[in-house]
Amino acid sequence: MTTTANPVPLAEADLPFIDVNDQQFLADPFPVLSDFRERTSLALSSRGVEVLPYELCAELLNDRRLDVVTWEAFAVKGAPEIMVDYLEKGLLSNIGRERHDRIRRVFVQGFRPGTIQAQRPTMEVIADRLIDDFAAAGRCDVIEQFSGQFSIEVTCALIGIPAEDIPTFAHATKELALIFSNPLDPVRDRLDAALHELQDYSRELVARRRAIPPEERSENFVNLLIGLQEAGEKIEGDELIWGIGNLLFGAMDTTRFQVVGVLKSLIDHGAWEQVAADPELIPGAVEEAIRWAPVVGFVPRRALKDAEIEGVVIPKDTVLMLNVLAANRDPSRFPDPYRFDISRETGQRLLFGRGLHKCLGDRLAWLILEMAVEKFTSRLTDARIVGETILTPRNEQLIGNESFVIEYQQR
């Protein structure tokens, strides 16, 4: 990130404007973003200040002058009261730094590397069972029959929620993707209903577990959280309730979309059989697929104070959009960025964030994606997409296939 002797106020910077609602952008944003990135590091849009280069996006993810866009911004847009409560106390990606750090220090105890890796045998059993249910049919809807179930079952097994409870909250967690809708008004009632449903389940679960004497509780993450709170750990009131809800939301939404994005990329680029023949290629294939088809289109950040970025003075409270789609096609970081290449250098993904707000379930999501690729490519061959694959709008924060049907042969 460069500084200049005479930085220009944002109002006088004459930055170009990206129309993220234009049909050309919605149809294929990558050429539009590439054109702007060649001319400028920063641009304006209806969402705020768009940050386009990879290195600048990566640097700003850790910049202490910036913080997340918190509940206040959603309240101004007319968010229902319960949504504001969830954003303030549960959705870690949108909680202000002080509360975020305190909650994260407690919740991270359930996501240590050894704990995640110990789930691998359970994950294999779940994946094989789900694929067994459709393998002989020669056709499956990957979202309905695998990804929407796999990630939530794995997460529930990790944190100690019975699989039989999933139908109780599954619809609510899917609906929560609407939180990032703009405008909010058309989906306000749906969000209100979903959040009440999720809150009711989490409260009932915690009350049920609290009624069990501590010495009789089984060892799992939910019981650990309850015990920590009872022992005076700094996790307050509904932070526990909404924290559980946030874990379920993350498992049901972003991961199920990204599983599909990875599998679709392998089919589209003829890499399915290559990965099947050499499973050691799976980590690189997953990372390249995440670069190619990220489920997160942008990461919003808010300036805590006036800040100079690339010679422009960004006023306090200005929203910056770290544009993941633009960063992932930056040729300065990814040579020949429009070529799908599973042999690229790894460790360059932005999807799960970095630093203070790195995704709590990063390692779990990564293992889920690798396991999905391993099981699908090792058990199925001649995979091909049938029907139309409809994406959520490319100008939304979460981007994913709303349907994804494949036909195949069993190996």
More confidently predicted of 198 and 397: 198
Burial of 117 (0-12, 13-18, 19+ CB in 10 A): exposed
The answer to whether 4 and 311 have CB atoms below 8 angstroms apart is yes
Residue 2 lies in a domain: no
Cα 243 from Cα 86, distance rounded (Å): 9
The pLDDT assigned to 36 comes to: 97
Strands 8-9 and 312-314, by their bridges, are parallel
The pLDDT assigned to 388 comes to: 85
- In this structure, of 40-44, 220-224, 252-256, 283-287, the range with the lowest mean pLDDT score is 252-256
Residue 3 lies in a domain: no
Confidence of residue 208 (pLDDT cuts 50, 70, 90): very high
Residue 92 lies in a domain: yes
The pLDDT assigned to 356 comes to: 64
Query: Look-up: residue for tokens 């809150």?
Result: 199
User: What is the average per-residue pLDDT within 107-134?
Assistant: 92
Cα 58 from Cα 70, distance rounded (Å): 20
**121 is in which domain, residue-wise?**
8-410
Strands 380-386 and 48-51, by their bridges, are unpaired
Cis peptide before 183 (omega within 30 of 0): yes
Q: What percent of the chain has pLDDT over 70?
A: 97
Confidence of residue 1 (pLDDT cuts 50, 70, 90): low
Confidence of residue 21 (pLDDT cuts 50, 70, 90): very high
Residue 113 lies in a domain: yes
The pLDDT assigned to 73 comes to: 85
- pLDDT at residue 353 tops 70: no
The 10s digit of each residue's pLDDT in 124-166 is 999 999 999 999 999 999 999 999 899 999 999 988 999 999 9
Q: What percent of the chain has pLDDT over 90?
A: 64
The 10s digit of each residue's pLDDT in 58-103 is 999 989 999 988 888 888 888 899 999 999 999 888 888 888 888 8
The pLDDT assigned to 37 comes to: 96
- pLDDT at residue 351 tops 70: no
More confidently predicted of 271 and 399: 271
**Under 8 Å CB-to-CB from 86, ≥6 apart: which residues?**
195, 199, 242, 245, 246
The pLDDT assigned to 410 comes to: 97
Q: Backbone phi, then psi, for 60, in 5-degree steps?
A: -70, -20
Residue 59 lies in a domain: yes
User: What is the average per-residue pLDDT within 35-46?
Assistant: 96
Residue 115 lies in a domain: yes
Residue 134 lies in a domain: yes
CA-based nearest residue to 242, from 149, 316, 179: 179
Residue 1 lies in a domain: no
CATH of the domain at 241: 1.10.630.10
Strands 66-67 and 298-303, by their bridges, are antiparallel
Specify the number of domains making up the chain. Answer: 1
What residue type is 309 in one-letter code? I
The pLDDT assigned to 260 comes to: 94
- pLDDT at residue 363 tops 90: no
Averaged pLDDT score across all residues of the chain = 91
- pLDDT at residue 305 tops 90: yes
